[in-house]
Amino acid sequence: MKRSLSQLLTMLLILGSVGTQSFAQSQEASVKLNSKKYLLDYYQKTLDALTKSTGNLSAAQLHFKPAADKWSVGQCLEHIVATEKMLFGYAKQAMDSPATPARRSEVKVSDEEIIQGINDRSHKAKATDDLTGKNALNKADEALTALKNDRKVIFDYLANVNEADLRNHISDSPFGPVDAFQSFLFIAGHTARHTLQIDEIKADPNFPTR
Q: Would you write out the chain's pLDDT as a tens digit for each of its 210 residues?
A: 445 454 555 444 444 433 333 333 333 444 356 789 999 999 999 999 999 999 999 999 999 999 999 999 999 999 999 999 999 999 999 999 999 999 999 999 999 988 888 888 887 778 888 898 999 999 999 999 999 999 999 999 999 999 999 999 998 866 678 999 999 999 999 999 999 999 999 999 999 999
Cα(187)–Cα(199) distance, rounded to whole angstroms? 19
pLDDT for the residue 172:
80
Write down the pLDDT at residue 34: 76
Residues 97-102: contacts with CB within 8 Å, 24+ apart? Answer: 97/169, 97/171, 99/165, 99/168, 99/169, 100/168, 100/169, 100/170, 101/167, 101/168
User: Under a CB-based contact definition with an 8 Å cutoff, are residues 6 and 85 in contact?
Assistant: no
pLDDT of residue 64: 98
Domains of the chain with bracketed CATH: 5-10+34-202 (1.20.120.450)
Largest CA distance in the chain: 56
A 10 A CB-CB count for 174 gives 9
> Please, which residues have CB within 8 angstroms of residue 125's CB and are 6 or more apart in sequence?
11, 12, 15
CA distance 139 to 176: 40
